[in-house]
Amino acid sequence: MSSDPYLSVKALTKYIKKKFDADPHLRDVYVKGELSNVKIHTSGHIYFTLKDNSSRLPAVMFAANARTVKFKPESGMTVLIRGDVTVYEASGQYQLYAQSMQADGIGDYYLAFEQLKEKLAKEGLFNAVHKKPFPRFPERIAVVTAPTGAAVRDICITLNRRYPLAKIVIYPTLVQGAQAIQSIVQSIQAANKADYDVMIVGRGGGSIEDLWAFNDEAVARAIFQSRIPIISAVGHETDTTIADFVADLRAATPTAAAELAVPSKAELLERLLSYRTGMYRMASNTIAKEKTALNRLTSSMPFAYPDRLYRPFIERVERATDSLQREVIQTYRRSREQHAYLDRQLAGRSPENLIKQSASELDHLQRRLDSLMGQSLQNRTQQLSSAMRTLDALSPLKIMDRGYSISYKGGQVIKSVSQVEEGESLTISMKDGKLAATVTERILTSKGENKDG
């Protein structure tokens, strides 16, 4: 036995912890209290204080257990906690280690539902402006639900009964259990990659736990992000999920969803018959009105005596016809005269006539030329005769007839005595012949005598 009576803090704390752990009443504790100083660590651990009017108890819930809590713990909530109490040696405090947590009074599912509903409502996921319109006559419909069960059967039977023209494609989906959330999200996303007009997302009835996947935030956001208008059909009419608020249209049941997705063939036929009846009635009324109007028109003056309407026009037409005929005749006459005039003009300018005219002119000119040439010849002849007479009158021969002669020396006419010398031989031409003479003497005469000689 040690003589030192003092224990270390660690040893004392460990001893106290063993006492706590050994106490069966502290191993499985059910405690009710108000949450305070709630801190959710990034690791997922939740640290809080559980208190009432007179006491406070530090507590912690590790992430593995915290993931099972359906709602988000907040200060001020009254909760029911099951766990155990032991000592945290590092701080020397005893604290409650919570294993489960439930909301007191309203239930944790309801609390989680209300919290998520409030959160998504604040983000606007429920706003009517985001609701997509549905086609009146869808051709392709995607159904996201379990491949077996009453829901898919009811949907297919209803769609085929109401509107067999629509093509139905089922996306097998887990709608219950731990994998349901991921399966629903994947099916919605896969359907959006294809060309569908409407999508039905839902399942049959069940407990709140069975339907809880449709209250998950991931499912709600997948529905909100869908480009295909979605009809939610979860559970029965009394079951309302977050998916119903986000969906573009909520159906009370899967059968109701199918009825909302497509029109009724019977209703369409009935509507067509109603339209046809209405059209017949409208056509009959229209025909009756038109008949009445036709009778009124046929009995009116213009239709009863139509000739009175066009009689003035006939007279105007006849007058216009006469005027037109006269004008045509006059025009024809003027045209014919113009044609004759042009024909004459053309005939006058024809090559044949031009040739004849030219020949006539040529003949005329020829005759005139002949006449002028004859006259000219005659004038010339007369002038020649006159000239010949004058020439004859001036001819030396004529002078020689009067006894004159012409002396030549060496072929040259001797005009002066000075041109010859005594002893030179001369030739004297006379009227009837020539004489050969020799100059024996030159006898000069006075100028008066010379001029006379």
Give ∠ CA 66-71-75 in degrees, rounded to 5.
Answer: 90
Answer for the pair 323, 331: CB distance below 8 angstroms, yes or no.
no
How far apart CA 418 and CA 32 sit, in angstroms, is: 201
Say if pTM beats, i.e. exceeds, 0.85.
Answer: no
Q: Which pLDDT does position 167 carry in this prediction?
A: 96
**C-alpha–C-alpha distance, residues 243 and 214, integer Å:** 6
The residues, ordered by sequence, that sit 6+ positions from 144 with a Cβ below 8 Å of its Cβ are 171, 173, 184, 187, 188, 191, 199, 200, 201, 202
Half-sphere exposure for 103 (CA within 13 Å, toward CB): 20
CA–CA dist 51, 48 (Å, integer): 10
| pLDDT tens digits, 101-118 | 988 766 667 778 888 999
Estimate to the nearest angstrom the gap between the alpha carbon of 151 and the chain centroid: 48
Query: Rg (Cα) of the chain, in Å, rounded?
Result: 76
The pLDDT, as a whole number, for residue 2 is 54
The residue behind tokens 């009863």 is 304
pLDDT the model gives residue 288: 95
Task: Report pLDDT for 105.
Answer: 66
Is 58 exposed, middle or buried, given 0-12, 13-18 or 19+ CB atoms closer than 10 A? middle
Q: pLDDT means per 10 residues in the chain (453 residues)?
A: 77 91 88 88 91 88 90 84 92 92 75 88 94 94 93 93 94 92 96 96 85 93 96 86 95 92 91 93 94 87 76 85 92 92 83 85 92 91 88 77 84 86 87 88 65 40
- If DSSP codes are grouped into helix, strand and coil, which group holds residue 394? helix
d(C-alpha 143, C-alpha 255), whole Å: 12
Q: How many helices (H) and strands (E) does the chain have?
A: 15, 14
Length of the chain in terms of residues written: 453
CA–CA distance, 35 with 50 (Å, rounded to integer): 5
CB-based contacts of 270, cutoff 8 Å, min separation 6: none
pLDDT tens track for 166-179:
999 999 999 998 89
Cα 67 versus chain centre, distance? 58
